[in-house]
Amino acid sequence: MIEKVGGVQGITGLTGITKTTKKSLPGVRDFAKILDELQQFEQQTNSVMKEVASGNLDKLPEAITMASQLDLAVQMVIQVRNRLMEGFQEFMRIAM
């Protein structure tokens, strides 16, 4: 018997960009766009996983591939965020 597959959990800690921030800095707009695309891809992945969980095993290879791609995309976005934070902290040290 095949057990229900759990969906990919929501991405936390990657949001929080306000509309005023998006308007003021072009780099933030680009990063916000990446986050939006990542969220859309997460929703697509969850949809395919729900199909697999409901018994549509034809979608299993696609679900596995999408889950792996989503994991890599999240890791990449986290690394970009970390580098941005390191750059900001370095800038703050120089500014003082």
Judge residue 39's burial from the number of C-beta atoms within 10 Å of its C-beta, 0-12 exposed, 13-18 middle, 19 or more buried. Answer: middle
> What does the pLDDT look like over 16-47, one tens digit per residue?
444 444 455 667 788 888 889 999 999 999 99
Say what the pTM is. 0.64
Residue with tokens 């949809």: 47
Q: At what angle do helices 60-95 and 26-53 cross, to 10 degrees?
A: 160
> What does the pLDDT look like over 45-69, one tens digit per residue?
999 999 999 999 999 999 999 999 9
**How many angstroms separate the CA atoms of 46 and 50, rounded?**
6
Q: Give the pLDDT of residue 25.
A: 61
Domain ranges of the chain: 19-95
Q: Output the six-digit token pair for 1.
A: 């018997």
